[in-house]
């Protein structure tokens, strides 16, 4: 996945100006796409030295890297992905999911306008969460870590502190987090599928801080309890 990213601290480290935020991403994404298409490349742009028939190695194991454009909710990024015929991974990490529906509508409309078949390009919804055998266990494991992480970032960025009770509201059906039992996660994935008709769902679990054994259990529950039911139900809805 290639995306703008929400952290800007790296710009001065690499000598970039923050005012070039969008231009840098656009140029580097297009360069990456061209590198993916052929071994040797001739290219020039604004932010780096030109390349003149140079080979780029090593090549990926597969013929081409499966490049996705990660989007956090800006129309310009949505249209850019559509204009290049690249699949879009939409991050929903706050707020009600239905407010993001216009971005997927815009993507499909723009894809057609640029000559691509929108129904043939997969779309992904990406969110945070954690799965456990009980709701209480999922909440008790996930939200203390999430609260700590959000407040640590918030102190660096000047945000008001968030209480755990505030963040827990995001696990409700119309919230952004997927935290709960397999049945709760299934219900929420299908609820969002009815909104977006997306082909892929990605959950970032645990913020790299939950006990390994519990993470393995969460992955097991996702693979054995959640995914089979979701796939079966979506196929049934398509057939109906």
Number of domains in the chain: 2
48 and 146 housed in the same domain: no
137 and 181 housed in the same domain: yes
147 and 85 housed in the same domain: yes
Is the pLDDT score of 5 beyond 90? Answer: no
- Residue 108's pLDDT is what? 94
Is the pLDDT score of 119 beyond 80? Answer: yes
Other CB atoms closer than 10 Å to residue 196's CB: what's the count? 20
pLDDT tens figures, 169-198: 999 999 999 999 999 999 999 999 999 999
Q: What is the pTM of this model?
A: 0.90
pLDDT tens figures, 141-172: 999 999 999 999 899 888 899 899 999 999 99
Is the pLDDT score of 240 beyond 80? Answer: no
Domain boundary among 32, 65, 98: 65
127 and 197 housed in the same domain: yes
Q: Which domain holds residue 152?
A: 68-239
48 and 125 housed in the same domain: no
113 and 181 housed in the same domain: yes
């Amino acid at each position: 996945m290639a995306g703008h990213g929400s952290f800007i601290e790296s710009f001065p480290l690499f000598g970039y100006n923050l005012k070039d935020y969008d231009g840098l991403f656009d140029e580097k994404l297009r360069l990456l796409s061209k590198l993916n298409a052929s071994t040797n490349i001739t290219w020039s742009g604004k932010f780096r030295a030109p390349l003149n028939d140079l080979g780029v190695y090593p090549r990926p194991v597969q013929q081409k890297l499966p490049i996705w454009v990660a989007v956090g909710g800006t129309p310009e990024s949505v249209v850019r992905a559509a204009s290049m015929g690249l699949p879009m991974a939409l991050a929903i990490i706050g707020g009600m999911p239905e407010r993001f529906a216009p971005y997927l509508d815009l993507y499909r409309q723009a894809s057609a306008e640029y000559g691509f078949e929108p129904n043939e390009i997969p779309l992904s919804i990406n969110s945070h969460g954690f799965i456990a055998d009980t709701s209480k266990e999922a909440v008790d494991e996930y939200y203390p870590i999430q609260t700590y992480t959000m407040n640590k970032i918030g102190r660096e960025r000047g945000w008001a502190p968030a209480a755990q009770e505030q963040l827990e509201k995001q696990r409700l059906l119309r919230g952004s987090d997927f935290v709960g039992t397999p049945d709760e996660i299934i219900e929420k994935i299908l609820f969002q599928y009815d909104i977006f008709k997306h082909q892929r769902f990605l959950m970032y679990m645990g913020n790299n801080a939950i006990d390994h054994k519990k993470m393995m259990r969460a992955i097991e529950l996702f693979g054995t309890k959640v995914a089979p039911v979701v796939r079966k139900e979506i196929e049934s809805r398509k057939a109906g």
